[in-house]
Amino acid sequence: MAPSIRLSPAARSLFDEPLAIAVQGLGPRQQVTLRTSLRDETGELFQASARYQAGDDGELDLARCPALPGGSFSGLEPMGLLWALQPQKPFWRLVKRDVQSPFLLQLEVFEGHGQRPGRLLAQAQHERAFLRDGVRRVPVREGRIRATLFLPPGEDTFPGIIDIHGIGGGLFEPRASLLANHGFATLALAYYQFEDLPQKPKELHLEYFEEAINYMLQHPQVKGPGVGLLGFSKGGEMCLAMAAFLKNIMAVASLNAPVAITCIPLSYKDKIIPTLTLYEHKAKATNSKCLDYSDVLDDPFQAPGNQSLIPLEKAEAQFLFVLGQDDHVVKSEHYATEVCKLLQAQGKENFQILSYPGTGHCIDPPFFPLYHIGSHPVFHKRAVLGGELRAYSKAQVHAWSQIQAFFKKYLT
């Protein structure tokens, strides 16, 4: 019997779902190298490889066989060939712009454990999709709002979540599209650098975000009486500010976000909240010739009555702070810990912290490759973002399930 690759699901799976990989038809205890490849939408290549030895029966099941030293990872890691994918171009990030088309994953089995691949024994292709069958993608251009709404299949009402990305601007859809597969009506909201939104805003207006909340609550398929917010970095900061000043917000999950206003001042009605001071000279050079920016922001807890600190004690919402202990962009662990102390001092218990070792600034849904060195979102210089491959892969899976459980609990 010629060697062949067996996948489950066979042809197509969701990007955040596990994929079972096995090889059959090998010789007893045969040594092979497995390689996965994926090209992003710009054509850049991501690859991972691992060395294995088949069982006495010529079967190789990645759920039961540990990878041997010498590849991208070792040990029993059934999903290692996906989470260990790394760009061939240094400092490149895997980004999905068009969530309506899947990524195409190539799997190959080569003979032996050499530095160069041996003879090709088997290959297969698999689609990693962002939308389950029946999930609808609806572009939203209502009033000032520029967004995309993802609706789960069916005519029911669903818990509503607004998903806000970081400081890069534009419209970011992958996380919102994946959440919709899990039963949430999710609005991916742009807030600058997209279509007719400001390119370089002098200030952000909370009224714009209030309009997005009202849009969701008036939608016939969004289950009220309130919405959830999910934000990463600057987007998480905006979610926290929305919870402090606006109504109808039930639950906020914030991923590695500041708890004070940064970079762009925030206005609401007649009030302007200033930004924390940035000290670029406090960036530290590392031995990898990158900069560590973790100390450049003023500490909002050092100066009593700091005007930039978001008054979270005014919020009615439940908070989930998701943070990486190795975040080198925002001191997210310090911020979350201190702000929860302030809430506790006010007699509040509406918060929980999920803290992950070996996890940096970027916390993506499961199986997105680790992006630990890249361009700093504000200074546009090469920066340490933080994170370590294996620990981050575990954090992604755990955090993603916890975020969904959190929203199910407080939105239904």
Q: What is the pLDDT of residue 168?
A: 86
Looking from the CA of 168 toward its CB, the CA atoms found within 13 Å total: 13
Rounded to the nearest integer, the mean pLDDT of the chain is 96
Q: What is the pLDDT of residue 210?
A: 98
Kindly calculate the radius of gyration of the chain based on its CA atoms and give it in whole angstroms: 23
Q: What is the pLDDT of residue 234?
A: 97
107-160: pLDDT as tens digits: 999 999 998 989 999 999 999 999 999 999 999 999 999 999 999 999 999 999
239-257: pLDDT as tens digits: 999 999 999 999 999 999 9
Residue 367 has phi, psi (to 5 degrees) of 75, 5
DSSP reduced 3-state for 89? coil
**Residue 301 pLDDT level (bands cut at 50, 70, 90):** very high
Q: What is the pLDDT of residue 306?
A: 86
Q: What is the pLDDT of residue 406?
A: 98
The stretches of 219-374 forming alpha helices (DSSP H) are 234-245, 332-345
Phi and psi based region of residue 179 (left: phi greater than 0; alpha: psi -120 to 50; beta: remaining): alpha
Lowest mean pLDDT among 89-98, 259-268, 301-310, 363-372: 301-310
Q: Which domains does the chain have, with CATH numbers?
A: 4-129 (2.60.40.2240), 136-411 (3.40.50.1820)
Contact yes or no for 301/338 (Cβ under 8 A): yes
Residues 222, 191: Cα–Cα separation, whole Å: 21
Residues 189, 242: Cα–Cα separation, whole Å: 13
Tokens coding 358? 């070996």
320-340: pLDDT as tens digits: 999 999 999 999 999 999 999
- Is the pLDDT at 304 greater than 90? The verdict is no
- pTM score, whole prediction: 0.96
**Residue 376 pLDDT level (bands cut at 50, 70, 90):** confident
Query: Catalytic pick from 16, 163, 292, 327?
Result: 327
* Percent of the chain clearing pLDDT 90 (strictly above): 93
- Told to judge if 196 belongs to the known catalytic residues of this protein, a careful annotator would answer no
Query: Catalytic pick from 13, 49, 177, 233?
Result: 233
- Told to judge if 364 belongs to the known catalytic residues of this protein, a careful annotator would answer no
DSSP reduced 3-state for 92? coil
- Told to judge if 126 belongs to the known catalytic residues of this protein, a careful annotator would answer no
179-210: pLDDT as tens digits: 999 999 999 999 999 999 999 999 999 999 99
Query: Catalytic pick from 361, 372, 376, 393?
Result: 361
Lowest mean pLDDT among 172-186, 233-247, 284-298: 284-298
Residues 125, 38: Cα–Cα separation, whole Å: 10
Q: Residue with structure tokens 């940064």?
A: 262
